[in-house]
Amino acid sequence: MKSSCLRFIFVSFLLIFFYSLDAQNLTLSRQEMIELTPKWKGERFPDGRPKVPDDILKRMKKIPLEQAWGVLRAEGYPNQYEGNWLDIHSGEVLVGRALTAQFMPLRKDVREQLEKKGANEGRTGDLVSWPIDMLKMGDVYVADSYGKVENGPIIGSNLGTAILAKSGNGVVFNGTVRDLRDLSNMDGFVAFVRGDHPSYQQEMMLTAINKPIRIGAVTVLPGDIVLGYLNGVIFIPPHLAERIVKIGELVNVRDEFGQQRLREGKYTSEQIDGRWTPEIEKDFSSWMDINKIKLPFPKEEFPDLLKERTW
């Protein structure tokens, strides 16, 4: 009796598991994507992923990681930075909208169900190509391949070429790549990965596209803005992207003014590095006018942008 009961429970579990897998889409529906990112009020892709404007992406390239991190921390997002990368194009900046993918170690029965599900959705080719097929210009392919090294590279030069052609960008992989020499010679393929290996992906499977994933210490959502430079990558919630750009642009100009005044000996480092007095603020405003420096937003916004400065 006990054996029959255990067998019934086991069979029931398998039926529930495979039913859930069959009902589970690789991607979120448009409505699910909207519910996942409710703070974003702007334009969206047809699948619901937030579409931060191209102008913000262009301006984001000039924003230091430190300033972005400071704003995120002040806004209650302390876990958006991940470091210790292999930067394929060191010194170049990576900016774009995240398209996410999750890889896991191969389990034959699960992969068979995923392939069946993908075929029903009209997907073709190997699972490793499915996220690449979905890329749009301005995207950054962000994948968690759980740091696998040997038999872990999920792209080489061919798929890298396809990624660059479709997105105009490189990648952020919590994992490895192959054909590093070829990838490093591809102009525009700015990429942050954990390493390289001459093998190719084996005993792996794609389990999710455009769903929340984990990259190191960060939870990354589809549509997050990727800002990568040298050894660090920050993932910015879409609704904070414009604010971070504005604050960064303002702070860049204020730093230029402050450093000039320090070289001139007009103010002390304590005066410039601390909260400015009304006299310094007035000097800064006059300096902007004299040098004909105009930011893409009015001076009336300055106090709000600087009120929670922590960087």
Place of tokens 């005066």: 271
Q: Domains of the chain: which residue ranges?
A: 33-51+78-234, 242-306
Burial class (CB in 10 A: 0-12, 13-18, 19+), 273: exposed
Question: What is the number of other CB atoms lying within 10 angstroms of the CB of residue 122?
Answer: 6
Instruction: Say which CATH architecture domain 33-51+78-234 belongs to.
Output: 3-Layer(bba) Sandwich (3.50)
**262 near 272, Cβ under 8 Å?**
yes
**CA 5, CA 208: separation in Å to the nearest integer?**
34
Task: Please report which residue ranges of 153-203 form alpha helices under DSSP H.
Answer: 157-167, 180-184
What pTM does this model have?
0.88
pLDDT per position in the chain (311 positions), as tens? 445 554 544 434 433 333 344 446 889 999 999 999 999 999 999 999 999 999 999 999 999 999 999 999 999 999 999 999 999 999 999 999 999 999 999 999 999 999 998 898 889 899 999 999 999 999 999 999 999 999 999 999 999 999 999 999 999 999 999 999 999 999 999 999 999 999 999 999 999 999 999 999 999 999 999 999 998 999 999 999 999 999 999 999 999 999 999 999 999 999 999 889 999 999 999 999 999 999 999 989 898 888 866 55
Question: How high is the pLDDT of residue 309?
Answer: 66
Token duo for residue 272: 């410039």
